[in-house]
Amino acid sequence: MPENNTLSRRERQIMDIVYRLGSVTAAEVQQNMAEAPSYSAVRALLRILEDKGHLKHAYDGPRYVYAPIVSRPVAQKSALKQMVRTFFDGSTSQAVAALLDMSARDLSESELERLSKIVAEAKREGK
């Protein structure tokens, strides 16, 4: 996982685009950003993300093509662990309770059933 997990708003936007498209050029990032900064600013942000360990690049003729270093699921898990440590004192149950409080009305019956199965499985495994 990258050393520096702190991303600016623009860096998060770029990472969302990279994960959605798989690999990107600076021009593709700029085309997919809302209120996009200049092309040179996008290139600078891509370099910063590479320096932070989130992206790698390959050459495609004269262009750099950027791709994520870790898969989206791995990045999601790492970001969630960071959030639980930062905002919930490391308590998974507090984080889950907060999420359920926020979205309980929006959960479908099948989603509630899935969550119930996850909890039951965790109990069986002694987690």
Domain ranges of the chain: 9-68, 72-124
Report the pLDDT value the prediction gives residue 106, as an integer from 0 to 100: 83
Q: How do residues 36-53 score in pLDDT, each as one tens digit?
A: 999 999 999 999 999 999
pLDDT of residue 1: 58
Q: Average pLDDT over the chain, rounded to whole?
A: 89
CA distance 89 to 84: 7
pLDDT at 3 over 60: no
Beta strands in 10-68 (DSSP E): 55-60, 63-68
Which of 23-27, 30-34, 82-86 has the weakest average pLDDT? Answer: 82-86
Mean pLDDT score, 102-116: 85
The pLDDT, as a whole number, for residue 83 is: 87
pLDDT of the residue at 125: 87
Q: What does CATH list as the number for 9-68?
A: 1.10.10.10
